[in-house]
Amino acid sequence: MINKADYYLLDVFTDRAFSGNPLAVFPHAESMTTELMQAIANELNLSETVFVSEANEANRYPIRIFTPTMELPFAGHPTVGTAHLLMQLGWAKREQALILEAGVGPLEVHFDEELACFTTARPAKVSASTLNRSKAASLLGLEEHQVISEPVLGSCGLAFHLVELDSLEALAKATPAPTLWASGITPSGEDTLYLYVIETNSGQGGRLRSRMFSMEGSLREDPATGSAAAALAGTLAIRQPGNGAWRWIIDQGVEMGRPSRIIAKAERRDNAPMTISIAGQAVIVGQGTMQIR
């Protein structure tokens, strides 16, 4: 039985401490049980905690990702943060691809100067949301005209209700009502909501501002959500005709006082599935030891 476990704390999708999305990573987790991992994630109460097992090949590590209440098959900021940590520890080589084996499948990570960039294991999938413009506006305490397109459910392995708003003012004002959440979102089986505003659009991408909410017993807001950014980038690219490459800079967490920056890319070429990639920075802000009795 493990009696202690070392871990690192990182801030992800940022280049400075105390911004971005906090993450805990346990780099020696091969002997931990699922029950212990879930208990530790609940104790730390961060949006996600990652458990890394020893390499099964060079530059290839199994990982498991937990929220305080459940295991996730995939999440963006744990992937980026874990890649940065393994590189800092010397477990990964900057000049080689790093493979993180997550529940959704293998995630291939490359390093480009200060960025860790991964390609999603699954292509973007878009389906109907249980929300329409009217329901989304009511849920968020907004006017219907402030929701400027029909919400959809987008996923690259983890699904989000994607809701486009007309302004940064509407984005800042939006406050999901838990009672309307229970009737409008929970029946879909996907308790995650990603709000976004397109600030600039060049036709090959542009600048977005976003917020992400989830329901895990109570309403939570996330300062940076790579899996949601991947779903959104894929959804926006699917709406574009023909082949092409699109790059979006997504600012999230501003309203929380934890500004984050996510770079999301989508590319579609002849006779090939669309590829989605997410890139970001991360900084180590601390380390510690969990005592396990």
Active site members? 48
Rounded Cα gap, residues 141 and 144, in angstroms: 9
Locus of tokens 């976004």: 196
Closest CA to 75 of 54, 102, 99: 102
Structure tokens at 292: 């396990």
In sign, the C-alpha dihedral spanning 47, 154, 51, 81 is negative
- HEC letters along 61-129: EEEEEECCCCEECCCHHHHHHHHHHHHHCCCCCCCCCEEEEECCEEEEEEEECCEEEEECCCCCEEEEC
| Tokens 């940065």 -> residue | 84
Q: Is 56 buried (19+), middle (13-18) or exposed (0-12) by CB count in 10 A? A: exposed
102, containing H or E segment: strand 98-102
Check residue 68 and report its DSSP letter.
S
Tokens of 82: 């874990």
Residue 120 C-beta-side C-alpha neighbours within 13 Å = 32
Residue 247 to residue 4: CA distance in whole angstroms: 43
C-alpha 191: how far from chain center: 14
Element (H, E) at 231: helix 226-238
27, 85 in Cβ contact below 8 A? yes
DSSP 45: T
